[in-house]
Amino acid sequence: MDSKAIDDVITRFNQDMQYPSQKEIEFIKRNTALYFWQKLGRGKYWIMLFQVAEILSAIPPSQAASERVWSMYDFIHTRRNRLSSKKVTQSVQLYM
């Protein structure tokens, strides 16, 4: 997607969420951000933002957890193997 399309999606999201209803406010207060995106973010206009939110929510929030993930990548993806980045990621996910 080009930057114009991305700007359009973000603008649409901001317009839709500018004046949320009381029901939407209660839903947001009761649920996690990832749950919000899984339930509401898969709409026609927000699918790209849902994908970004899904990736960002997978990032560990602490330095130790991040170091652990990078250590697993280093362990699985050595210089001697020729695994693609997709295969390495799948292996790390299985290893976790």
For residue 21, the one-letter residue type is S
**Quick one: what percent of the chain has pLDDT higher than 70?**
88
In this predicted model, what pLDDT tens digit does every residue of 56-66 receive, in sequence order?
777 777 878 77
Closest by Cα among 16, 87, 6 to 49: 6
**How is 51-92 classified by DSSP, letter by letter?**
HHHHHHHTS-SSHHHHHHHHHHHHHHS-SS----HHHHHHHH
The number of beta carbons lying within 10 Å of the beta carbon of residue 46 is 20
Tell me which residue of 43, 34, 87, 95 sits closest to 68, measured CA to CA. 95
Per-residue pLDDT of the chain (96 residues; tens, 9 = 90+): 577 777 787 788 788 778 888 888 888 788 877 777 777 766 666 777 787 777 777 777 787 877 887 787 787 777 667 778 788 777 777 776
